[in-house]
Structure formats: structure tokens, C-alpha cells
Amino acid sequence: MLAHRHADACAVLTDPGFSREAATELRMTSRSKESLALNVVDPPVHTRRRQLVAHAFTARQAGLARPATERLAGELIGAMVRKGPPAELVADFALPLTMGVIGGILGVPAPEQRRLHPWVEAMMSTTAYSPEEIAAAHKGVHGYFAGLLDAATDGLPGELAEHVRQGTLGRDEAVHLVSGLFIAGYETTGNQLGMCVLALLRHPLLPKRLRSDPAATPQAVEELLRYTSLNATGGVAHVALEDRPVGGTVVRAGQVVVPVTDGANRDPDVFDEPDLLDIDRPHNPHLSFGRGRHMCLGAGLARMELQVALDMLVAELPGLELAVPEDTLGWREGMYVRGLLELPVLW
Ligand code: HEM
């Protein structure tokens, strides 16, 4: 069953009568339950793990990461300007920026971020890679983060390593938590940023508005999050543990329901003219970061990164436009997260 109305998607996401763990037992995802330390586990394991890392991703921590994010965005834009147009915004900006931010928080140096990237692509695929390639990618990424934890003395990895030494966290759990944070930290944000820029380029008045009125950037980011569809698979499968009411019907115990958050983001009962990109929407309760106990841990960090990136792009690359016809742009296929393969731009 698909829950695509806003109220129904929220009902599924916030109802403890649904289990994600039970859905992975049905092998409805190519990612293993073990390697997704937060996304597909239920309480009490989910609660215990999330509490161990949540303090590193508060709104305050996101604010503290802003200056370094601005510095990195400035360096990347500076390099594009020195080279001159055209630039490829995915490889030259969106990926190195978002990898750099989470890599900075977790202590993963830039060359290692780039080395891990092809493995992350395989891990985050639905059909684009073979089971053998996906297994090899898990091994490579987990091997790297096991080494990082063994050597960690400070920051969040140092804290997790200490929990392992004290026996309050399993070693594999810690490896999966920290590698999951790295992956969740840049894969979504990097692809989201590319799609946000494309949406801006399709609405040329918007970059002009943001340049003259940077105070509008946070609400523009919220609307771009609502308007662009990042989730290529619809949503996370949930299994009803008992008969549960959803949207005037009953999901029977054992049945599977998927909350389709991108559909919910265009529910006309909640959003006037839902197909319109309107950054002045007075009320925007989008579900792009989810809802309930699994709501995106990095939402504050992601918002900050998107705001910094869009502010700096419109300010420093005036006249930004696509360098190729839009219908020649390639899209990722066979992946959980939608995104552009390349975004060539001129300014
Ligand atoms: C624009 C960028 C991002 C988007 C759109 C996004 C979206 C989401 C969504 C929809 C979920 C799942 C909600 C669910 O399963 O019901 C999620 C979970 C998660 N996100 Fe993000 N995310 C973004 C960036 C980040 C960043 C920067 C981090 C950094 C750590 C992060 C870490 C996580 C984690 C750890 C989870 C799992 C939470 C849990 O299951 O308890 N995300 N995100």
C-alpha cells in the first residue's frame, strides 16, 4: 500500500505500530539491516544508537560548522572562477562541498573522501550495481571506518571508540554508525544541491531575488526541498505489527505500507498550488526530512549547507545558466537517491 497523502504519510511515519526492521526481513531493500545503523532499526536499538550521535548534529552544531562551510564553498567557487566557465557543478562544487563538510566533522581527509565515493555509490544503489559489487563496497567502506575508529582520539569518532572500549556500543555498530553518517551526510545533500541549482536555473527570477534579498534564502531552501524529489524509491517500507488505521482504511497486521513523502509534499490539501515553486509560501510543512523518530538527523546541517551554497553561488557567479540544453542532462539511475550526473553551467 502507498500512503501518499500528507496526513497518511505522517500517520505511518509516527505510528509505533509499524516496523521498519520487519520490512528488511522481507528483503525489500538491497542494503543490509546491519549496515543501516539507524534507518531501518526500531526502538529500543534505534533510540540507544541515535542518542549516542544526536548531540553532534544539533542546530547549534550546524551553526558552528557554518564558517568552515563558507570557507570551503568560497575555495571551490574561487577555483571555478580561476578556471573560467563552463564548470561542472556536481563534481566541482556540490560533491566536494558536502563531502568536505561531513568529512570535516568525522575526520575523513579529502583524498579519502574521494576514494570512498565509488564504494558509496555502489552501497546506495538499487539496481545499478551487482550484489558482488555492493558487497565489495560495504567491505571497503566498513574497513576504512573500522580503521578510522581504531585511530580516533577526539571528536564524534573518538567518543564512539570510547563507547566501544567501555562495552556500551558494539564495534560493528560503531563502524556502521559512523560510515552511515558519512554516507547520509553527503549523498543526499550533494544530490539535493544539484537539483536545487537546476530548479533555480529554470526560474531565472529566483537567483535575482536571492541575490538582492539573501534573507529569503532559508525559505527558498525549504520550498526547494519540498518541490524537488530526492527519493527515487518512493519511501521506506513499513510493516504493520498489528491492524493499523491509515487514511480511512486499515492496514492489516503483516501488510507493507510505504509513506510516499514526495507525493505528500504535493498534497493539495496542505499546499496551495503544489506544483508551483513559490518561495513565499506562508506555511511549508514538507516531509523532505521525514517525520517522527527517524526524521533526518542532519536536517540542520543540510539546511545550513544548502543556504550557504545557494547564497554564495548567486552572489559570486552572476548570470548563472545552464551550459547545455536541459534535455541533454543525465540523471542517476538504479539508485535510492535521485540526482544529476552532471550540471554544466556558465556565468
Ligand atoms: C538535503 C539533504 C538531506 C535530505 C533531503 C535528507 C533526508 C533524509 C530523510 C528523508 C531521512 C529519512 C527519514 C526516514 O527514514 O523516515 C533521513 C535520515 C537520516 N539522515 Fe538525512 N537528509 C539530508 C542530509 C543529511 C545530512 C547532512 C546528514 C548528516 C549526518 C544526514 C543524516 C541522516 C541520518 C543519520 C538519518 C537516519 C535517521 C534515523 O533513522 O534515525 N542527512 N534524511
Amino acid residing at 209: R
CA distance 266 to 272: 9
Q: How far is the CA of 296 from the centre of ligand 1 (A)?
A: 3
The protein residue whose alpha carbon is closest to atom 7 in ligand 1 is 289
Query: How far does residue 318's CA lie from ligand 1's centre (Å)?
Result: 31
Q: How far is the CA of 229 from the centre of ligand 1 (A)?
A: 14
How many whole angstroms separate alpha carbon 174 and alpha carbon 275? Answer: 42
Radius of gyration of the chain (CA): 20
How many C-beta atoms lie closer than 10 Å to residue 183's C-beta? 20
Q: Which atom of ligand 1 is nearest to the CA of 225?
A: 5
pLDDT at 25: 75
Q: Which atom of ligand 1 is nearest to the CA of 189?
A: 2
Residue nearest to ligand 1 atom 1, measured at CA: 189
Residue whose C-alpha is closest to residue 198's, from 320, 53, 40, 60: 320
Rounded distance between C-alpha atoms, residue 134 and residue 58, angstroms = 32
pLDDT for 23 equals 85
Lining ligand 1 with CB less than 6 A are: 13, 38-39, 50, 57, 102, 180-181, 184-185, 188-189, 192, 230, 236, 288-290, 294-298, 301-302
Each of the 347 residues of the chain gets a pLDDT tens digit; together they read 999 999 999 999 999 999 998 888 776 555 666 667 898 899 999 999 999 999 999 999 999 999 999 999 999 999 999 999 999 999 999 999 999 999 999 999 999 999 999 999 999 998 999 999 999 999 999 999 999 999 999 999 999 999 999 999 999 999 999 999 999 999 999 999 999 999 999 999 999 999 999 999 999 999 999 999 998 888 899 999 999 999 999 999 999 999 999 999 999 999 999 999 999 999 999 999 999 999 999 999 999 999 999 999 999 999 999 999 999 999 999 999 999 999 999 99
Count of Cβ atoms closer than 10 Å to residue 75 Cβ: 13
Instruction: Go through the domains of the chain in sequence order and give each one's CATH number.
Output: 33-237+306-346 (1.10.630.10)
Instruction: Give the distance (Å) from ligand 1 centre to CA of residue 95.
Output: 16
Closest atom of ligand 1 to 302 CA is 27
Which ligand 1 atom is nearest residue 39's CA? Answer: 40
- Distance (angstroms) between ligand 1 centre and the Cα of 275 equals 24
To test the pocket of ligand 1, the residue of 51, 183, 188, 238 to mutate (highest count of ligand atoms within 8 Å of its CB) is 188
Coil, helix or strand at residue 296: coil
Give the pLDDT confidence score for residue 140 in this predicted structure.
Answer: 97
Decide: 174 and 168 in contact? Cβ < 8 Å.
Answer: no
Residue 302's Cβ-count burial label (10 Å; 0-12, 13-18, 19+) is buried
